[in-house]
């Protein structure tokens, strides 16, 4: 079966009870236990819900892992996965991971005794150098946010495996349609399904997939005891989104390629970051480990005034956080997704006041180009 077919035919294309072409929304908090003689699969909806279970099985199938788990947000998935670690453990993270993941590692979990070292993982040797006796996990994201830096997953995950670390990859930008980190050696994959998987900017949800059943048990223990679960309606919206992922992503990626190429030649633009561009650092690595370049790009204007003017003037792009929806979204990382990062750290990473990130939607690309041209002035 090819990857597009699997988005539709993954074991949950039909409800076996009614024949419905979708998973029923089971809206209940508890389940009758009969005469208590035999334990039933579901007892309380924090511990398990049939609608949620369907999505958890679907994402595990799509990522090629053993177990899947759904959470109330992408950050709840990240936090719950990190919750399998203990105080005193050390985590190595790529330095340009999602701002919220950075915050949970460096603020919240630090108070609970987790230590974190941020490294530039585009050179895998930096990971090897950061490993110490207490290192227990490696946290990566590729392409990175917002500069679309590429990390060589196979090499980095190999280093983690040799050192006995649990490796976690945030696959939000690529989705399992374009990239499957478990096949490249990852132990856990996490997602903000709020983005491309949900795909319509109408739901917040997170997912985690584990390579093994054993790791799955550890993540489940946190899911059940921490309780950061999604409701069945939100789960259902993500299952519906997944069915159209291929159609959306292919159009969005084709438009992103055209838009990135066009931006390169614009007089107000000084740099464009998109893994599909011929001269993008790491393009070949991305092509080897993923089936596409995705639909997120970023660019630098020549001045901060140009960037603010663009955001104020652009008509077919919402000036907003988030990405992966059917509508184009223009975000301003310095004030939005990376506002939680200390200014000095942002400067070092190149997240400046001239940087704009675009998540390309399903509008006709000719309209987007004309609109961007007008807004850039």
Ligand X SMILES: *Cc1c(COP(=O)(O)O)cnc(C)c1O
Is 46 in the active site?
yes
Given 67, 149, 195, 211, which residue is catalytic? 195
Is 98 in the active site?
yes
- Look at residues 176, 179, 156, 183 and name the one whose alpha carbon lies nearest to residue 167: 156
Tokens (6 digits) for 319: 């000036």
Contact between residue 207 and residue 70 where contact means Cβ atoms under 8 Å apart:
yes
CA distances from 53 to 39, 233, 288 (A): 18, 13, 32
Given 69, 96, 98, 136, which residue is catalytic? 98
CB of 376 to ligand X, least distance (A): 25
- Per CB under 6 A, residues contacting ligand X are 73-75, 98, 100-101, 141, 145, 170, 172-173, 192, 194-195, 204, 206
Contact between residue 97 and residue 146 where contact means Cβ atoms under 8 Å apart:
no
Given 89, 96, 152, 170, which residue is catalytic? 170
CA distances from 80 to 74, 139, 197 (A): 10, 13, 20
Nearer Cβ to ligand X (63/306): 63
CB of 105 to ligand X, least distance (A): 12
CB of 337 to ligand X, least distance (A): 7
Pairing of strands 166-170, 135-141: parallel
Nearer Cβ to ligand X (145/286): 145
CB of 267 to ligand X, least distance (A): 31
Q: Is 323 exposed, middle or buried (0-12, 13-18, 19+ CB in 10 A)?
A: buried
Tokens (6 digits) for 32: 């009758």
Nearer Cβ to ligand X (4/100): 100
CB of 203 to ligand X, least distance (A): 9
Nearer Cβ to ligand X (64/100): 100
Is 267 in the active site?
no
Nearer Cβ to ligand X (120/371): 120
List the catalytic residues: 46, 98, 170, 195
């Amino acid at each position: 079966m090819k990857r597009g077919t699997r988005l539709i035919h993954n074991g949950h294309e039909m409800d076996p009870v009614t024949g419905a072409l979708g998973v029923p929304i089971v809206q209940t908090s508890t389940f009758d236990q009969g005469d208590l003689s035999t334990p039933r699969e579901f007892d309380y909806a924090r511990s398990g819900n049939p609608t949620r279970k369907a999505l958890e099985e679907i994402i595990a199938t799509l990522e090629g892992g053993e177990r899947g788990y759904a959470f109330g947000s992408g950050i709840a998935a990240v936090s719950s996965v990190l919750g399998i670690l203990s105080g005193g453990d050390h985590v190595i993270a790529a330095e340009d991971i999602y701002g919220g993941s950075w915050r949970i590692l460096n603020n919240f979990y630090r108070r609970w005794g987790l230590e974190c070292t941020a490294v530039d993982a585009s050179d895998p040797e930096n990971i090897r150098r950061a490993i110490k006796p207490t290192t227990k996990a490696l946290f990566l994201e590729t392409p990175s946010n917002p500069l679309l830096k590429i990390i060589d997953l196979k090499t980095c995950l190999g280093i983690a495996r040799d050192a006995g670390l649990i490796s976690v990859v945030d696959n939000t930008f690529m989705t399992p349609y374009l990239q499957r980190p478990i096949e490249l050696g990852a132990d856990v994959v996490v997602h903000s399904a709020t983005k491309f998987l949900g795909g319509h900017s109408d739901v917040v949800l997170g997912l985690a997939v584990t390579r093994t059943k054993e790791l799955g048990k550890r993540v489940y223990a946190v899911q059940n005891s921490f309780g950061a679960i999604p409701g069945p309606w939100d789960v259902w919206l993500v299952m519906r989104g997944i069915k159209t992922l291929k159609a959306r992503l292919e159009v969005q990626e084709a438009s992103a390629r055209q838009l990135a190429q066009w931006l390169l030649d614009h007089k107000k633009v000084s740099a464009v970051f998109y893994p599909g561009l011929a001269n993008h650092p790491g393009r070949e690595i991305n092509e080897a480990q993923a089936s596409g370049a995705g639909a997120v790009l970023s660019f630098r204007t020549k001045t901060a005034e140009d960037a603010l003017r663009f955001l104020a003037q652009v008509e077919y792009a919402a000036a907003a956080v988030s990405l992966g929806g059917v509508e184009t979204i223009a975000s301003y990382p310095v004030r939005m997704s990376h506002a939680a990062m200390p200014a000095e750290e942002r400067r070092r990473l190149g997240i400046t006041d001239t940087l704009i990130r675009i998540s390309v939607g399903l509008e006709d690309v000719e309209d987007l180009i004309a609109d961007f041209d007008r807004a850039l002035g």
